């Protein structure tokens, strides 16, 4: 009898982008030059001082051994200072901050730390697919809640209150939102904190897009008493062009942090110290760094708007984050069909919104992580090879 995988594996499909990248790679092997506008992978380097710190720290002999599971004090202090300066939030670096190897891993850590089999989890629709896949991996029961464009992609609390919340233990929220680009407000965070306290639900805000095309970074911890019922994830991937470095963090009250640490300490052996020192350097950069990063994104966004206009899509120009989310024309059959047509005829890949849930079926998403020249080339390819067909 063949060895069978765990049941949880049967509930989780291969990540959409993993499959699509394989398809794109096959096209390229056939000599087709494909432009990928689908993935939010920052294409520019970190600040030169960050690279200089990494090089310097990597040359020191004592920095190559195992490190503490809780991260070095320099990094924890840097995260706390970053939150104090930009989010106006006080965090105890010794007890309320835990560095992670990327915030995506934190989604698994949190789920393993708090969810038992058959516990219920509120997952946004549309939303980041990892919330759903991780919930399935830990054998929790996923309960989707709809985000509607008419409500600026915020939860409908009246509908939430009508659900059976008796077994709901955790709720994923993500603002600035991915994939829609909708931003948070203090009023929204107040409602989320009150909802969590009322129903004894852990509110987890995934917050990696705070600094991209956003002049007002917000943390859910701005709300009084939020630490009692909330956890927040953050990351240097987008804000500091350090996606491949895998440096993130989770913040909450000391008790919750200890629960997460019990999982984390059994899954890794600490982060490479030079990475931590370089990350601390990145967190101490002046506001001019974020302004410089966003200056380029503003210019790219204008070009992506042109693509959306060519495709007759509708979009909100006040979106934050490194994507543009747009509604496809009513006469278009589906976002998947439109994406496939653009890939087949123009050799440009654009993400269909359906991968983020049923509520994304009439939307597409384009990443801002390509140079202006590549975006201009994409415009020409679509104009010549798709719109004429």
Assess whether 76 and 145 both reside in one domain.
yes
At residue 388 the predicted structure's pLDDT band, cuts being 50, 70 and 90, is very low
At residue 14 the predicted structure's pLDDT band, cuts being 50, 70 and 90, is low
Per-residue pLDDT, 4: 79
Assess whether 198 and 295 both reside in one domain.
no
How many DSSP H helices and E strands does the chain contain? 13, 14
The Cα–Cα gap between 206 and 177 comes to 9
Per-residue pLDDT, 283: 98
In the predicted structure, residue 58 carries a pLDDT above the cut 60: yes
Give 149's DSSP letter.
G
Assess whether 227 and 305 both reside in one domain.
no
Q: How many CA atoms lie within 13 A of 164 on its CB side?
A: 5
In the predicted structure, residue 13 carries a pLDDT above the cut 80: no
In the predicted structure, residue 17 carries a pLDDT above the cut 80: no
Domain boundary among 259, 285, 311: 285
With respect to residue 3, please indicate whether it lies within any of the assigned structural domains. no
Per-residue pLDDT, 309: 95
Q: What average pLDDT score do residues 119-148 get?
A: 95
With respect to residue 111, please indicate whether it lies within any of the assigned structural domains. yes
Q: What average pLDDT score do residues 77-98 get?
A: 98
Lowest mean pLDDT among 24-38, 164-178, 283-297: 24-38
Q: Are 250 and 260 in contact (CB under 8 A)?
A: yes
Assess whether 30 and 75 both reside in one domain.
no
- Per residue in 193-218, pLDDT (tens digit) is 999 999 999 999 999 999 999 989 99
CATH label of the domain that carries residue 220: 3.40.640.10
Q: What average pLDDT score do residues 254-273 get?
A: 94
With respect to residue 1, please indicate whether it lies within any of the assigned structural domains. no
Assess whether 55 and 80 both reside in one domain.
yes
Tokens read off for 84: 């104090």
- Per residue in 112-126, pLDDT (tens digit) is 999 999 999 999 999
The Cα–Cα gap between 276 and 247 comes to 8
Domain boundary among 235, 255, 285: 285
Assess whether 206 and 294 both reside in one domain.
no
Per-residue pLDDT, 39: 82
In the predicted structure, residue 389 carries a pLDDT above the cut 50: no
Q: Are 210 and 234 in contact (CB under 8 A)?
A: yes
Assess whether 203 and 54 both reside in one domain.
yes
At residue 230 the predicted structure's pLDDT band, cuts being 50, 70 and 90, is very high
The Cα–Cα gap between 315 and 116 comes to 40
Distance (Å) of CA 363 to CA 140, 201, 324, 358: 28, 30, 10, 10
At residue 139 the predicted structure's pLDDT band, cuts being 50, 70 and 90, is very high
With respect to residue 196, please indicate whether it lies within any of the assigned structural domains. yes
In percent, how much of the chain has pLDDT > 90? Answer: 84
Q: pTM of the prediction?
A: 0.93
In the predicted structure, residue 227 carries a pLDDT above the cut 60: yes
Number of domains in the chain: 2
Tokens read off for 108: 């698994």
Lowest mean pLDDT among 23-37, 175-189, 232-246: 23-37
Per-residue pLDDT, 255: 98
Q: What is the mean pLDDT of the chain?
A: 93
What does the radius of gyration of the chain's CA atoms come to, in whole angstroms? 21
Assess whether 83 and 212 both reside in one domain.
yes
Per-residue pLDDT, 5: 80
Going by C-alpha positions, the residue among 363, 379, 369 that lies closest to residue 316 is: 363
Site of tokens 């991996």? 137
Distance (Å) of CA 333 to CA 125, 336, 337, 361, 382: 21, 9, 7, 10, 18
In the predicted structure, residue 387 carries a pLDDT above the cut 80: no
Assess whether 252 and 373 both reside in one domain.
no
Assess whether 99 and 172 both reside in one domain.
yes
In the predicted structure, residue 158 carries a pLDDT above the cut 70: yes
Q: What average pLDDT score do residues 345-374 get?
A: 94
Q: Are 245 and 220 in contact (CB under 8 A)?
A: no
The Cα–Cα gap between 140 and 37 comes to 33
Range of the domain at 342: 8-45+288-385
């Amino acid at each position: 009898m063949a060895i069978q995988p765990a049941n949880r594996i049967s509930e989780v499909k291969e990540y959409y982008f993993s499959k699509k990248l394989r398809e794109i790679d096959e096209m390229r092997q056939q000599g087709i030059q494909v432009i990928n506008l689908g993935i939010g992978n920052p294409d520019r380097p970190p600040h030169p001082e960050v690279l200089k710190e990494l090089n310097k720290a990597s040359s020191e002999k004592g920095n190559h051994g195992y490190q503490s599971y809780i991260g070095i004090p320099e990094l924890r202090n840097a995260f706390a200072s970053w939150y104090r300066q930009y989010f106006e939030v006080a965090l105890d670096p010794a007890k309320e901050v835990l560095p992670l190897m990327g915030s995506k891993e934190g989604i698994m850590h949190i789920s393993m730390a708090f969810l038992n089999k058959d516990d219920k989890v509120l997952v946004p629709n549309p939303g980041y697919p990892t919330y759903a896949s991780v919930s399935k991996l830990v054998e929790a029961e996923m309960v989707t809640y709809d985000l509607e464009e008419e409500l600026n992609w915020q939860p409908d609390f009246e509908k939430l209150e009508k659900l059976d919340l008796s077994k709901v233990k955790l709720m994923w929220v993500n603002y600035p939102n991915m994939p829609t680009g909708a931003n948070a407000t203090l009023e929204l965070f107040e409602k989320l904190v009150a909802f969590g306290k009322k129903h004894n639900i852990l509110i987890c805000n995934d917050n990696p897009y705070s600094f991209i095309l956003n002049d007002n970074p917000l943390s859910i911890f701005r709300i009084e008493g939020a630490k009692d019922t909330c956890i927040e994830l953050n990351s240097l991937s987008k804000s500091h062009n350090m996606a491949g470095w895998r440096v993130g963090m989770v913040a909450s009250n000391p008790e919750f942090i200890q629960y997460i640490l019990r999982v984390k300490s059994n899954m890794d052996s600490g982060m490479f110290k030079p990475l931590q020192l370089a990350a601390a350097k990145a967190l101490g950069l002046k506001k001019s760094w974020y302004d410089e990063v966003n200056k380029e994104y503003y210019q790219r966004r204008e070009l992506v708007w042109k693509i959306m206009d060519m495709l007759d899509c509708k979009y909100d120009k006040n979106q934050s984050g490194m994507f543009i989310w747009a509604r496809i024309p009513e006469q278009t059959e589906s976002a998947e069909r439109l994406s496939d047509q653009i890939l087949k005829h123009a050799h440009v890949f654009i993400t269909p919104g359906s991968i983020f849930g049923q509520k994304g079926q009439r939307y597409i998403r384009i990443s801002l992580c390509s140079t202006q020249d590549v975006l201009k080339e994409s415009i020409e390819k679509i104009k010549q090879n798709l719109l004429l067909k």
